Structure 1
Amino acid sequence: MYAKLEQRAFLAMLVLVSIVFAFLMQPFWAPIFWACAISVIFYPLNKRLLQRWPARRNITALVTLVLCVVLVVIPVLGVATSFVTEGVALFQKVQSGQVDPSSYVDKIRHAFPAVQSLADRFDVDLDNLKQQAVQALTGAGQFLAKRALAVGQNTFQFFLNLGLMLYLAFFLIRDGDAMVAMLIRALPLGDERERLLFSKFAEVTRATIKGNLLVAMTQGALGGLIFWILGIPGPLLWGVVMAVLSLIPAVGAGLIWLPVSLYLYAVGDVMEATVLLLFGVFVIGLVDNILRPVLVGRDTKLPDYVVLFSTLGGLAMFGITGFAVGPLLAALFVAFWQIFMREFSDEENRAPALSESSDE
């Protein structure tokens, strides 16, 4: 009796300490998550290096991390910096009156009279819609300006988080196998289940991050390229915006290139508008329709609609990190229920069979 009481008290304290530790780590959840993601994605590369130099775990982990910084971190920082710079410049032009977003809406309305009649039929106030569009663009510019100012003021915090992420990623890459084995030994879920869940975590993390980022970079690069060819101002800015929006399945970059093509039709640039529309449908859109199911849906083994809703939910809850966290949670949810149905359904099916055999 006393031994059971001690065991329950210890388990209660274990849960309490774990919860407090989780709250302690809460400010660093983003660096921790991305360190785990980096280690999962680059682990196969580190494993190949270890096959050549099995006694140099520190060196191979460091080489893997350096390649990660060169291939991923530095390009992302460069694109993000250029995006914020061009976004702030556009916001300043809107404030100074050099760019008038409402005039674009007016040109589209005058060029397409059917839009006005359709809006009247559904009681849509285009003037109010125009004001909301201007406010949204102004708000986006203000947000970018504030974020740029915040990054400038919190440069130390930003580089601290980046350093913590890379520091943790080094140890996860070097000692990942040992850490996973320790977790499998510690967690009370059953070794086979835990291996399945860790395998699912690695599989989905690689698929969502590599797949979504590859699709986003491809669509953003193609969108920025066609904007640059057609002479549309701010091709880098709009390319990055399309890359970010393409993280949302089924919607993506079309939120940018479609309105721009309509505007080009409205101002009489029929050739440019047609080229952009065809390029958006058959090139940018085809990338999403072909690459995303192959890179994301197939590896995660999730239906497209589950990927869509989990991505949107992840973005709403966790910000930009949610494009990876959302599908990951959905995949773990599905994995848990698959384990439950497999094991408990088998037990229920075996129970009647055993009772029938005992009656005989």
Structure 2
Amino acid sequence: MRAELESRFFLLMLVVVTLAFGWVLEPLWGAVFWACALSVIFYPLQQWLLLHVSARRGRMALVTLLCSVLVVVLPLLAIGASFVQEGISFYDRLQSGEVDPAKMIDAVKSAFPAVVSTLHDFGINTDNLRQKLSDFAMTTSKVLASEMLAIGQNAAGLFLNIALMLYLAFFLLRDGPKLLHLLVEALPLGDEREHLLFAKFAEVTRATVKGNLVVALVQGTLGGIIFYLLDIPAPVLWGVMMTFLSLLPAIGAALVWLPVALYLYATGQWQQATVLVVYGATVIGLADNMLRPLLVGRDTKLPDYVVLFSTIGGISLFGINGFVLGPLVAALFMVFWQIFMTEFNQRSSS
């Protein structure tokens, strides 16, 4: 009786100290998460290096980490810096009146009266919509500018998080097999199940990060190029916006280029608008339709609709990290149910 009580109390304390440790790490959770993601993505590269280069595991982990910095971290920092510069410039244009969202909406309304009448039929007051969109654009740009200023002022904190992420990623790359063995030994789920779950975690994380980022960067770059060629203001800003929105499958980049095309039609710039629509629907859309199933859906073995809904839900719950966490939770959900159905059916039939 006493031994059972001690075991239960120990398990209770184990849960408590584990939750407490997670609470202590909560401010650094983003750095920990991306360190895990970075190590999972570049672990195959390290394995290849270990097979072809005779060197210690620690040195190969350092080489792999430097490759991840060159391929991922530095380009993302460069894109972020460009986004900050373009965002501040766009905010200044809004403040000076050079860019007036209200005039843009009026131009679209006058050019497409059928759309206005349809909206009225559905009970949508376009005058209120015009004011709300104008206020939203001004408020959003103001918040964006203030956030950019805060990021600039807290640059030390940002670089500290990046340094902690890279520091942890090095040890995860170097000691990954040992840590995985410890987790398998510690978790009471059964070794076969745990290996399956860890394999699925690595598979989904690698596919979603690699696939979604590649698709987003390709679509954002293609969008920025066409905006630059059509002489649309702030092409870098809109390109980065399309990059972020492209994390949403199927609909992301169109949320930027389609309204711009409608405005170009409304202001009589038919040639530019037509080029943008054709380019957006074919080139930008084709990049999403071809690359995403190859890089994301195929590797995760998740249906496209599950990827879409889990990505949107993940982003709404977890922010930018949700484009990985959403599909990851969906994949683990399906694996757990697959294990349950397989083992339950085997026990029922026996």
- Shorter-chain TM-score tier: over 0.9
Match in the other structure for 2:139: 139
Match in the other structure for 1:279: 279
Match in the other structure for 2:224: 224
Q: Deviation of residue 54 (structure 1)?
A: 4.7
Match in the other structure for 1:308: 308
TM-score (norm 1): 0.95
Structure 1 residue 93 corresponds to structure 2 residue 93: yes
CA distance in 2, matches of 1:191, 1:63: 32
Structure 1 residue 249 corresponds to structure 2 residue 243: no
Partner amino acid for 2:143? F
Match in the other structure for 2:342: 342
- SS of equivalent to 2:87: helix
CA distance in 2, matches of 1:91, 1:170: 39
CA distance in 1, matches of 2:204, 2:34: 14
Structure 1 residue 30 corresponds to structure 2 residue 33: no
Match in the other structure for 1:328: 328
Match in the other structure for 1:173: 173
Greater Rg over alpha carbons, structure? 1
CA distance in 1, matches of 2:290, 2:117: 37
- SS of equivalent to 1:330: helix
CA distance in 1, matches of 2:59, 2:218: 33
- SS of equivalent to 2:250: coil
Match in the other structure for 2:189: 189
CA distance in 2, matches of 1:144, 1:107: 26
- SS of equivalent to 2:107: helix
Partner amino acid for 2:22? A
Q: For structure 2, which runs of at least 5 residues remain unmatched after alignment? A: none
What is the aligned length? Answer: 350
Question: What is the CA deviation profile of residues 124-162 of structure 1, one whole-angstrom value per residue up to 9, with x for unaligned ones?
Answer: 111111112112212221222121121122222111111
Match in the other structure for 1:125: 125
Match in the other structure for 1:264: 264
Match in the other structure for 1:238: 238
Report the RMSD for the aligned CA atoms in angstroms. 1.1
CA distance in 1, matches of 2:315, 2:142: 21
Partner amino acid for 2:185? R
TM-score (norm 2): 0.97
Match in the other structure for 1:50: 50
Match in the other structure for 2:11: 11
Question: What is the CA deviation profile of residues 29-59 of structure 1, one whole-angstrom value per residue up to 9, with x for unaligned ones?
Answer: 1000000000000000111111133541111
CA distance in 2, matches of 1:152, 1:243: 21
Q: For structure 1, which runs of at least 5 residues remain unmatched after alignment? A: 351-360
Match in the other structure for 2:164: 164
Structure 1 residue 299 corresponds to structure 2 residue 286: no
CA distance in 2, matches of 1:54, 1:47: 12
Distance 1:187 1:54, change over 3 A: farther
